[in-house]
Structure 1
Amino acid sequence: MRYMTLTNVRPVQPRVHEVDTIRGFALGGILLANIGFFGDPRLLATIGMGATGPVNFVVQTLVLSKFYIIFSFLFGYSFTLQMSSAEKAGAGIVARTLRRSLGLFVIGALHGLLLWPGDILTLYAVLGLVLLALRRIKPKTALITGIVLLTLVAAFYALIAWAITLSPTSVTLMTPLPPEEGARMLAASTAGPLDFLAVNVSNYLSTVPAIWFAQGPTALAMFLFGFAAGRWGLFHRIDEWAHRMSAVQWVGFLIGLPGAVVYASMFNINGPEMPAATALHTLTAPLLSAAYVVTLIRLGRRFPAIPAVLDPAGRVAASNYLGQSVLACLVFTGYGLGLAGQVPPLGVMAIAVVIFAVLLALSAWWLRGHRYGPVEYALRRFTNWR
């Protein structure tokens, strides 16, 4: 009887450690992209317009909109792993995905309302249902569809830029926040827990449509790219395409980096330059993100300490994503020290590095005694309905 019990246990599906490493790396980039809005909540009202200075220029060039692209790609890749896991467990992928999306949506909504109005989990939950509907799509078709989608997004922004040049009057895409309104928002964000909560709820309700509109189509395209990569087993067979990594880096940095510089240079120009730069950025940012990923893989193979440090955070990515917001709120908002508006941009970035280091250490410590992070455990229980 003992022998029968052991042989009937299903083997645990091995993790793809490169995915965890990349996910941990992406978490650091997302923190750098988001923490500026914690440091100055007034930027939320203008989607970041108004942030100037060398630190903000570097963040806009190298970080902004680059790492959610990586995260979206990994979401699509992980979807194929979840499909495989459901098949091996004899469970229905549709029911599992519906429950997972619902759980992700609830977590994202609570995160957005209570902590960070720029939450993207609700968008991912909805796009996950789109990916579920397209789960039988062929990898090549998914790749082509993603390329077409990015091209249409770029064409849309280019059309806006062209239309602005034809306008006989001056067109303002983003109205600057009046100084008195900005002062009121900053004071409320740092006054106390209830004051910050009220401001955060208001910001969340106004920010959600902008996030879904600005990031939704690109995120879906990256979902499709990740899905195709997962079906091809891209990270399971790295040795088979390792000889092409240099080409990915050359293309990604030579095309993606200039595109990012143009985007950052025109980010605050309230005219046709901004949508024109956004059109260019839509097409070039994925190339730069791909170069980041390949560079990380190559460095990880040469220096094993890099994946050793990043892997734990990648394994508990959802807990880290929410943990970033918790710690940033404790530093900058009325939930804690209320330092928003008082720390210069370079200091804000330094705080981000400290937060990331703390979360890396906590992730490694947690996984010594647990298989899943706290958020992952709750989401997994709900997804599997047990």
Structure 2
Amino acid sequence: MSSRIDMGARITALDVLRGVAILGTLGTNIWIFTDPAGPGGFLAGADDWGGALLRMLSNGKFLGLLSILFGIGLALQHRSAVKRGMKWPGWYLWRSALLLVEGALHYVLIFEFDVLMFYALVSVLVAFLVGRSDRVVRGWLVGALVVHLAFIALVTYAMHLGDGSLGGSLPVDMSSWFGQVRSRIEYVDVFRAEAVFVLPLSTVLFLAGARLLRAGALEDSERGLRVQRRLAGWGLGLGLPLNVVTTLAGGEWFAVDRYVCAPAVSFGLLGAITMLVHRMRSPEGFLRRGVTSVGRMALSCYIAQNLIASLLCYQWALNLNGRFAQFGVWYTVAAWVVVSALLVMGATWWMGRYSRGPVEAAWNWAYRAPQRRSVAA
């Protein structure tokens, strides 16, 4: 196997990883959409071990993977800017500003637990760090990790002293879309609390993603294979069993489960999926093509999955919750399958006709417009 980077395979692996992360993130969010108590009841947790283990399959892992991939994407943009002799971070900060605005609109209009806003904030810090020396990057990574683990320790201690819960259900108005928008604004401190809480963790994952790209984690090479095996071994071999233990240990361990064990598994998923992609004989299968298409228009699919799930589940739209919530986890799994199928089919159709997703196209226009005006001036 050549030690040279296979750029086509690397990019393809990145698209597949993004597609898996988007569909996996839906696997976490779908529990929120199908909860009869609405978005305010998501912290109640599963009532039995079976439900808890089913939630564990997606809880925090794919969001962690998405964060790592965001860091990889940021590092790729830095690498491209350096090769072209462009000032860094330069116009990248405009990208972060656009992402912040987009995330704010997504939060208010569609989904209480948007991740784009805090991705935008973290991307500004990491943009200034990604080109620094290994010593500086390693210092920030370790420092952010220490801060994060200290937060987790304090929260876990408080939960052991209390009732083992991070909170209760909020009286979110689910009768109308406008009512839900008002609730998001009214309870912004509660719904955005996790976004603030995970800022140090996101910094760790972004910086780790940038370092993994440099280490060859996405390469189809001997070096890349060694990194992928190491990630899969530690992340799945050690992180996954610990994740099962903390899931079944009770609500007191929720913070450790979601914010320590799950991100560890994310690294294992990165290694295992990348190895699988490089060893698949046919890149033209429907499933891989569909997941790749979702990854190529990840931003559009992230917003679309939350919009589709809202229209299917909530009282002010089709209200499937009112008809099928009594079926419990079976209804939740079925909802995930339906929304995922719509995303895969829609993304495959769209990418067969256009080079960018609809949100990506609009976003790219907004990003390029001030640059064109600057050049013209």
Say which one has the larger Rg.
1
Q: In structure 2, do the counterparts of structure 1 residues 171 and 262 end up closer, same or farther at CA, with 3 Å as the change threshold?
A: same
1:294-329 deviations in whole A, cap 9, x for unaligned? Answer: 222233234333543311111110000000011001
Counterpart AA for 1:265: L
Which residue of structure 1 aligns with residue 153 of structure 2?
A: 158
Q: Does 1:318 align with 2:296?
A: no
- CA distance in 1 between counterparts of 2:229 and 2:217 reads 16
Shift of 1:238: 4.2
Q: Hey, what does 1:339 align to over in structure 2?
A: 320
Deviations 1:181-236 (A, max 9, x none): 75xx4xx31x23323333344344531123221x2211110001011123344324
SS of the aligned residue for 2:348 comes to helix
Are the counterparts in 2 of residues 319 and 375 from structure 1 also a CA contact under 8 Å? yes
Matching residue of 1:196: 180
Determine helix, strand or coil for the equivalent of 2:312: helix
Count of residue pairs brought into register by the alignment: 356
**Structure 1 partner of 2:3:** none
Q: Secondary structure at the match of 2:111?
A: coil
8 A contact 1:75–1:223 mirrored in 2: yes
Asked if the contact 2:59–2:258 (Cα under 8 Å) also holds between the matched residues in 1, the reply is no
* Secondary structure of 1:42's aligned partner: coil
Partner of 1:297: 274
> One-letter code of the match for 1:358?
L
Question: What's the TM-score, normalizing by structure 2?
Answer: 0.84
Picking from 261, 284, 288, the partner of 2:265 is 288
TM-score, normalised relative to structure 1: 0.82
> Could you tell me which of 208, 216, 220 is aligned with 2:192?
208
Counterpart residue number, 1:382: 366
Q: Distance in 2 between matches of 1:223 and 1:54?
A: 33
Give the Å deviation of 1:255.
Answer: 1.4
Does 1:258 pair with 2:235? no
Pair 149,96 (structure 1): closer, same or farther in 2 beyond 3 Å: same
Is 1:18 matched up with 2:13?
yes
Aligned AA (1:66): K
Unpaired runs of at least 5, structure 2? 1-6, 373-377
Contiguous gaps of at least 5 residues in structure 1 = 1-12
What is the distance in 2 between the residues matched to 1:90 and 1:384?
Answer: 18
Matches within 5 A, 1:343-382: 343=325, 344-382=328-366
Compared with structure 1, are the counterparts of its residues 28 and 54 closer, same or farther at alpha carbon in structure 2 (3 Å cutoff)?
farther
Stretch moving more, 237-246 or 224-233: 237-246
1:85 aligns to 2:80 (yes or no): yes
CA distance 1:94–1:233, change in 2 (3 Å): same
**Amino acid corresponding to residue 319 of structure 1 in structure 2:** S
Take 1:56 and 1:42, find their aligned partners in 2: how far apart are those partners?
A: 17
Q: RMSD in angstroms over aligned alpha carbons?
A: 2.8
Identity %: 26
- With 20-29 and 342-351 compared, the bigger mean Cα shift is at 342-351
Cα distance, 1:173 vs structure 2 = 5.1
Q: Counterpart of 1:10? A: none
Shift >6 Å, 4+ stretches: none
Q: How far apart in 1 are the matches of 2:216 and 2:157?
A: 41
